[in-house]
Structure 1
Amino acid sequence: MDRYLLRYFLAIVETGNFSRAAARENVAQPTLSAGVAKLEAQLGARLFDRTNRRVHLTEAGGRFLTHARRIEHEFNLAQAAVSGARQADTLRAAVLSTIPTALVEQAVAGVGEERLELLEGTEREVLNLLDRRRVDVALTVLRPAAERFEPERLMEEGYGLALPAGHRLAGAASLKGEDLANEVMMVRRHCEALADTSRYFLERNVRPAFSYRGANDDRVLGLVRAGLGITVMPDCYGEAGVARVPLEGFTPRRTLALCYAEPAARYRTSGLVQAAREVFAA
């Protein structure tokens, strides 16, 4: 069985569809589809149920997934041991893109002399980097999919409104969704609570106009300050010129954690990990 077939299979599982998997593996979608067909022929079982929007693992695919991840993990360990391409004192870390740059900057500043390679991504991308042993440690949100990476909880926080400091509602002790019916809002595309946010406003019959949809949260925060609109953000976001106001009845929370590749003990004493504990202390 060729390794590239395993990579195609894992890419589909981790991205959720064939087109994104093909883009991640840098191949044309027909090539990836042909590879999956070849893998299914070798195994004598169908691995995916396909729909217009997503693909789902079959029962056989679910059983194969455990072995595929183990094989890929062992291959990466062997490759790293033989190649010696990375210096032993370089820590590879991934950071969730919805964590403020200011906090990441504080953690990196506390690293000292430790050599660091830093990557960034969405929740799915960060866990994929850990799965593939592309990073040693990740700072991300803690949800069931991350439990297998020996997580170390750092802090828990909720979400609230971010408004320009000069906004007419900026001084409120709290606001209801109905209070925002006439407000212009911005969408944070990578927000872990995006579905909860949409449901919250729809249940209150609030359908605001949108001035911006973006994946860069620091840019969204800057546009809030500039007066382009308001948005819902984790509580850890804040800077001069931006008011933070609680949103009544909006209850989602997130836990930030450090997740480790094996062996976890090797990375728990690194400079970045110790600095992150101080910056993100609960």
Structure 2
Amino acid sequence: MDIYQLRYFLAVVETSNFSRAAERAFVSQPTLSTGIKKLETELGAPLFNRDARKISLTEAGRRFLPHARTIIYECNAAKTDITRKNPVQRLQLGLLRSAPSSRIAALLNDFGKAHPDIQISIKDGTPAQLQRWLDEGRIDLAISLPPEDISNTQFTRLYTWKYMLAVPSSHSFANRNAIPLKELDGLDFLHRSHCEGETEVTRSFSSAGVNPHIVFRTDQDEKALAYVGAGLGLCMMPDILTGPGVTLVPVEGINIDRVIGLIWLRESEKDLIHSFHMFATSHDWHPDKSAAKNLDWAR
């Protein structure tokens, strides 16, 4: 199997046409067709359904596609790494699944501009998964909850979030200083299934005899915020999450918070970790305080 055959294969996938694929690969159509045929012979299966009107992938082609893309990506990365003036350094970052994506994206964007020779690879997971990956050396550091065992780990606080009630900005609750928990009984709610504090929220609701009507369950914060803003339901969520048309209001009877920070192994005090630590600790984790009400008490 040759690299040029994989490039021909991907060109056909991207264009759905052998003629246009040949133009993209800068070869004649017969040359491209021969290369594809050799690849199929080596793999022992046809990769394309050659219909008169449309070219589509076979089942074997669909399975082969991610492998081809990975191989080409790694080849290009290797070439760039060797030819560039300064060698690329790679930072393996573990990320708490419920961490605010917009804040993380802003942090990584700023860090990338300041450190163009550092590539970041991200793995998201639960606190337990992140700790295991740290112990196994699969990640260099993680943005997560404080570790239970601090004997071999370092932890630096980045921000603290507190559970608030997300309501549409046009909702009558949006102008209130706080909402008694009892007033939430029977109201339409969105449930964030992936957040570490949801179990405590559910327990607090149950203890108070409050039974919300769950209209939707999601593990995507952007979707939850969009649906709240559209008036589909209310949602309990960390105050660090904000969205257009959404106001955050405290709930009397709910006092749940979490500290989020950087975790790394004590023996892994290398320059990459130090550089990222400096950026993360100086990052503005609450840039839009106007989107939430009365949040000074939550810091």
TM-score w.r.t. length of structure 1 = 0.64
Give the secondary-structure state (helix, strand or coil) at the position aligned to 2:206: helix
Match of 2:289 in 1: none
- The 3 A distance-change label for structure 1 pair 200 and 164 is same
Listed as ranges, the gaps of 5+ residues in structure 1 are: 1-86
Aligned-residue offset at 1:265: 1.8
Match of 1:96 in 2: 96
User: 1:176 aligned to 2:176?
Assistant: no
Asked whether the 8 Å contact 2:133–2:139 carries over to 1, the reply is yes
User: 1:248 aligned to 2:248?
Assistant: no
CA distance in 1, matches of 2:236, 2:206: 15
Aligned-residue offset at 1:148: 3.9
* Paired letter, 1:161: L
Match of 1:21 in 2: none
* Paired letter, 2:125: G
- The 3 A distance-change label for structure 1 pair 91 and 244 is same
CA distance in 2, matches of 1:124, 1:201: 26
Aligned-residue offset at 1:182: 2.9
Asked whether the 8 Å contact 2:147–2:153 carries over to 1, the reply is no
Aligned-residue offset at 1:123: 2.0
Match of 1:194 in 2: 198
Structure 1 runs, 4 residues or longer, greater than 6 Å off: none
CA distance in 2, matches of 1:263, 1:133: 11
Match of 1:11 in 2: none
Give the secondary-structure state (helix, strand or coil) at the position aligned to 2:173: coil
Q: Deviations over 1:193-228 (max 9, x none)?
A: 112101111121111110111112222122211222
Q: Deviations over 1:218-271 (max 9, x none)?
A: 22122211222111111111122110001112112110110013533214422x
CA distance in 1, matches of 2:151, 2:209: 36
- The 3 A distance-change label for structure 1 pair 220 and 145 is farther
* Paired letter, 2:124: E
Q: Deviations over 1:82-130 (max 9, x none)?
A: xxxxx87111101111111110011101213122111212222222221
Match of 1:156 in 2: 160
Match among 124, 127, 144 for residue 120 of structure 1: 124
Give the secondary-structure state (helix, strand or coil) at the position aligned to 2:172: coil
Give the secondary-structure state (helix, strand or coil) at the position aligned to 2:243: coil
Asked whether the 8 Å contact 2:193–2:218 carries over to 1, the reply is yes
Match of 1:109 in 2: 109
* Paired letter, 2:110: G
- The 3 A distance-change label for structure 1 pair 145 and 179 is farther
CA distance in 2, matches of 1:101, 1:146: 27
User: 1:210 aligned to 2:214?
Assistant: yes
Q: Deviations over 1:165-204 (max 9, x none)?
A: 1122111111111111131111111211112101111121
CA distance in 2, matches of 1:197, 1:218: 20
Q: How does 1:1-282 map to 2 (within 5 A)?
A: 89-111=89-111, 112=114, 113=116, 114-145=118-149, 148-266=152-270, 267-270=272-275, 272-279=276-283
* Paired letter, 2:103: L
Aligned-residue offset at 1:158: 1.3
Asked whether the 8 Å contact 2:158–2:281 carries over to 1, the reply is yes
> Larger Cα Rg: Structure 1 or Structure 2?
2
CA distance in 1, matches of 2:104, 2:222: 12
Give the secondary-structure state (helix, strand or coil) at the position aligned to 2:196: coil
Q: How many percent identity over aligned positions?
A: 25
Give the secondary-structure state (helix, strand or coil) at the position aligned to 1:265: coil
Asked whether the 8 Å contact 1:127–1:146 carries over to 2, the reply is no
Considering only aligned residues, what root-mean-square deviation do their CA atoms show, in Å? 2.0
Asked whether the 8 Å contact 1:133–1:261 carries over to 2, the reply is no
Asked whether the 8 Å contact 1:165–1:243 carries over to 2, the reply is yes
* Paired letter, 2:91: L
Give the secondary-structure state (helix, strand or coil) at the position aligned to 2:274: coil
Give the secondary-structure state (helix, strand or coil) at the position aligned to 2:237: strand
Listed as ranges, the gaps of 5+ residues in structure 2 are: 1-86, 286-298
- Structure with more relative contact order (C-alpha pairs < 8 Å, separation 6 or more): 1
